[in-house]
Amino acid sequence: MAGDGRRVVVFPFPFHGHATPLLRLASVLHTRGFAVTIFHTELRAPMSEYSEAPFKERLTAALAEEGAGVRCVIADVAWYKALSVSSALGVPAMGVMTASAANYRVYMAYPMLIEKGYLPVQEARREDLVQELPPYRVKDLLRLEASSLQGFADLLRNTIEAPRQSAGLIFNTLRAIEADDLDTIRQEESLPVFALAPLHKLAPPGNTSSSLYGETQADRECLDWLDTQEPGSVVYVSFGSLAAMDPHEFVELAWGLAASKRPFLWVVRPTLIRGYESGQLPDGLDEQIRDHGRLVSWAPQVEVLAHPAVGAFITHSGWNSTVEAVSEGVPMICLPLHGDQFSNARYVCDVWKVGMEIEASSAAGQNLERGKIKAAIDKIVHDKGIRERMDAFKLAADEAVNSQTEVKALVDLINSF
Ligand code: UDP
């Protein structure tokens, strides 16, 4: 049978940014000779607690299947109940963190952050360094209102406790960018850790043409358009699968792009602009966009970032986008909007120094204005230091693909179960 009696059950969390790396990982394991069974929820039902009974039922059935040979369960750490159920049923389980290793450390540190008064974030302390967790400043932390903080802290505690009973943790990251954080997690959690990026290059080329939880097909013609542009000239703009912005932010960004006089490719999902109706663009903007840019509803992002015409990436700093850009060597202008995007941007700009941030998320996005966009584009395309550091990361990512060191170590561990 396929997989030689070596089967892995993979359980992705049903959001695009979570599911994409898990499916790529499943694909990597399949090329390594494993049979793979994907468990999935019928709907977006992202409550780990509710998944417990159906997951247990399905896994028990899979174990009873003759010759199925389930070696292990690989589940998003957000499915912490599934990790516990697997371990309880005697099946080795491994958690996958689809955000950064640095963010996993924020999860680990969350009780301390509350105890020391960093959280909930107080306006007066926003710029303070978190002494126990550099390089974070208070404003970079996963922010929540005081009223919802305790519930969130409980969720994070569950998210890190289940992997403690598991066989290992898999990260969608590169050692070249997060070696220290990975080492700290390995030591403090006493777990094997694997850094499996760039998954989009480790997995065989697959279908990147649609958004997983929408109807949107990627516009592949934009790749032909990129072929007609000068090397390094195009600014690619994308805010991932979920983020939304107000119409005035959209307009400022559009004018900033137009003022840069550079060609741009911009993903404008139907849900990107709150309350937007087509035809709402102010006078002249339509014309500017037509002259300089191209708008698409969904792009084949990893292919766009790998295209030689692309010289800079304006991003919301979602983790997948960040790792993809680092792996393709594309400098970033970070416009974080919520969640872990702030801390990702901190690493991009202040630790790896391969991008710059435009702080847009103050009250109602008032900070986002066209002059800042144009200035950031002008600066980043001429910054040799950023270019050189990005080139070095791209080499490291290529080396991870050529050597397959982390994949081999993971496969060896699974084979040892
Ligand atoms: N993506 C894509 N085409 C687009 C926009 C995004 O393929 O037009 C992909 C992108 O390559 C990445 C994912 O969607 O893999 C977005 O994940 P990320 O973690 O960056 O952001 P999220 O959507 O979770 O906010």
Mutate to test the pocket of ligand 1, among 22, 301, 334, 343 (most ligand atoms within 8 A of CB): 301
Sign of the Cα torsion 375, 376, 382, 385 reads positive
Q: Report strand pairing: 35-38 vs 7-11.
A: parallel
What does DSSP assign to residue 238?
E
Please name which of 126, 107, 96 lies closest in space to residue 359, comparing C-alpha atoms: 126
What does DSSP assign to residue 210?
B
Q: Report strand pairing: 70-76 vs 193-195.
A: unpaired
Tokens for 260, please give them: 């840069």
Please name which of 315, 250, 317, 325 lies closest in space to residue 289, comparing C-alpha atoms: 250
Residue for token pair 């009696």: 5
Give the span between the Cα atoms of 247 and 198, in whole angstroms.
34
Whether the ipTM is more than 0.85: the answer is: yes
Active site residue ranges? 18, 76
Predicted local distance difference test score (pLDDT) of residue 363: 46
Predicted local distance difference test score (pLDDT) of residue 250: 87
Taking the CA of residue 302 as reference, the ligand 1 atom at the shortest distance is 11
Tell me, in angstroms, the distance from the centre of ligand 1 to residue 212's CA: 10
Predicted local distance difference test score (pLDDT) of residue 354: 98
**Secondary structure (H, E, C), 276-292:** CCCCCCCCCHHHHHHHH
Q: What are the pLDDT digits (tens) for 379-407?
A: 999 999 999 999 999 999 999 999 999 99
Is 241 near ligand 1, meaning CB less than 6 Å away?
A: yes
Q: Of all helices (H) and strands (E), which one includes residue 313?
A: strand 310-315
Predicted local distance difference test score (pLDDT) of residue 1: 42
Residues 6+ apart with CB under 8 A from 295: 266, 267, 268, 289
Tell me, in angstroms, the distance from the centre of ligand 1 to residue 89's CA: 35
| Cβ–Cβ under 8 Å, residues 323 and 174 | yes
pTM of the model: 0.94
| Cβ–Cβ under 8 Å, residues 36 and 8 | yes
Is 16 near ligand 1, meaning CB less than 6 Å away?
A: yes
Taking the CA of residue 216 as reference, the ligand 1 atom at the shortest distance is 8
Is 301 near ligand 1, meaning CB less than 6 Å away?
A: yes
Low-confidence ranges of the chain (pLDDT < 70): 1-5, 43-46, 48, 206-215, 276-284, 360-367
- Residue 169 burial by CB count (10 A; 0-12/13-18/19+): exposed, middle or buried? buried
The one-letter code for the residue type at 242 is L
Taking the CA of residue 267 as reference, the ligand 1 atom at the shortest distance is 8
Predicted local distance difference test score (pLDDT) of residue 360: 64
Residue nearest to atom 11 of ligand 1 (CA): 301
Q: Of all helices (H) and strands (E), which one includes residue 236?
A: strand 234-238
Residue nearest to atom 15 of ligand 1 (CA): 320
Residues 6+ apart with CB under 8 A from 189: 108, 160, 163, 164, 169
Give the span between the Cα atoms of 136 and 300, in whole angstroms.
32
Tell me, in angstroms, the distance from the centre of ligand 1 to residue 17's CA: 6
Mutate to test the pocket of ligand 1, among 13, 16, 237, 304 (most ligand atoms within 8 A of CB): 16
Predicted local distance difference test score (pLDDT) of residue 155: 93
